[in-house]
Amino acid sequence: MEKQRLEVVLIPLPFQGHINPMLQLATILYSQGFSITILHTQFNAPNPSNHPHFTFLSIPNGEISPHQEPVDIVISLNTNCRVPLHDQLASLGQAACIIYDTFMHCVDEVANELKIPTIVFRSNSVVNMNTYYACIQVEKDGCLPLQDSISLDLVPGFHPLRYKDLPVFNYQNNEGYLHLIAKVLSLKFASAMICNTMEFMEQTAIEKYTQHLQIPFFALGPLHKFAPASSNSLLEEDITCILWLEKQKPKSVLYVSLGSLASMKENELTELAWGLANSEQPFLWVVRPGSVPGSKWTEIFPLWRLGIHYENELERGEVERVVRRLMVSEDGHEMRQRAIEFKERAQQCIKPGGSSYISLKKLVEHITKL
């Protein structure tokens, strides 16, 4: 007789870059013997047919427009979902724990009211999380709104971050954003934190960040390598490019993507297009619907000397120069070689004895003992 599985409820933030790693984490936990329930909003709901072994439950999220600023959407979700989230969780049997995206912070207090243990999940880098502490500090120092005159200055205590690197430079609703990240950082009741990262890649950042934590931290990346491949795209995927890709030489194609939220102006799109074309290098450019109007949702990544930092206004000549440097110069060859080395080290992380493999075993033990 099969042993009854402990149930884990996972609650993603309904954006592509957050849904994907949460479902990958769910797949990993299922392989470790847990029963999986995905509790999601109606906005940007995932496709249950891609994961037949999971239970999918939706909750109403009120009126949400995809044209709102991402910060405003997240604030609305946390306000609108609190009551239906409470009701849905209360109707479930006793779960071993709830794993929730860090931006769905309302889960923390709701689960505590219901006496269900929680684990917070970070879908991206620890360096990115450290920028939130920098934003809070900048506000305390009275430096908001940020002035162009200090944009290139280092943020005291947060080397190598500059003021212009901070997310508060990018949002119209800075007050709302600062309130949101304060909630994200509070972690009143979470029993642990999972992060989609690797110890070797962010060792210094992890050490700095975990100084703020009073709970276990599990570096569990890269999740997409742990979990079998499956499509979780919110948009219909265009696979017509595969035939063209198969005709190109190995390692010869430049992949260009703005991600699932970032946008650019029409003139920037034109300059980028001409710069790519003039470089005379094969490229595959993903241009999703709605990527031109002009929203600013950025993330901060540590510098691993795997690419070229481009921060000037988009200009076709500069784009061409940067692309050719990356794809055909000796400097670019060294960058690509380092990327291959990073890939190999990442693969070692998930093998028996690797840091992420060990973290997974510790996470399973942690959940089992809650």
Q: Please, is 170 exposed, middle or buried when counting C-beta atoms within 10 Å of its C-beta (0-12, 13-18, 19+)?
A: middle
Length of the chain: 370
Long-range contacts of 47-52 (CB under 8 A, 24+ apart): 47/232, 50/23, 50/230, 50/231, 50/232, 51/23, 51/26, 51/27, 51/230
First to last CA, the chain: 24
Euclidean distance between CA atoms 7 and 73, whole angstroms = 29
Euclidean distance between CA atoms 178 and 182, whole angstroms = 6
Q: Could you write out the DSSP letters of every residue in 184-217?
A: HHH-SS-S-EEES--TTTSHHHHHHHHTT-SS-E
Sign (positive or negative) of CA dihedral 263, 268, 274, 277 = negative
Rg of the chain (C-alpha set): 21
- Residue 162 contacts residue 131 (beta carbons within 8 Å): no
Chain position carrying tokens 């609108």: 80
Catalytic annotation present for 141: no
- Residue 144 contacts residue 181 (beta carbons within 8 Å): no
Beta-carbon count within 10 A of 134 CB = 21
Distances (CA, A) of 77 to 13, 176, 234: 9, 13, 18
Euclidean distance between CA atoms 30 and 48, whole angstroms = 15
Give the three-class secondary structure for 233: coil
- Residue 180 contacts residue 172 (beta carbons within 8 Å): no
- Residue in 18, 40, 51, 366 annotated catalytic: 18
Catalytic annotation present for 18: yes
Euclidean distance between CA atoms 107 and 28, whole angstroms = 22
- Residue in 51, 101, 105, 165 annotated catalytic: 101
Q: In which element (H, E) is residue 36 found?
A: strand 35-41
Euclidean distance between CA atoms 164 and 146, whole angstroms = 8
- Catalytic center residues: 18, 101
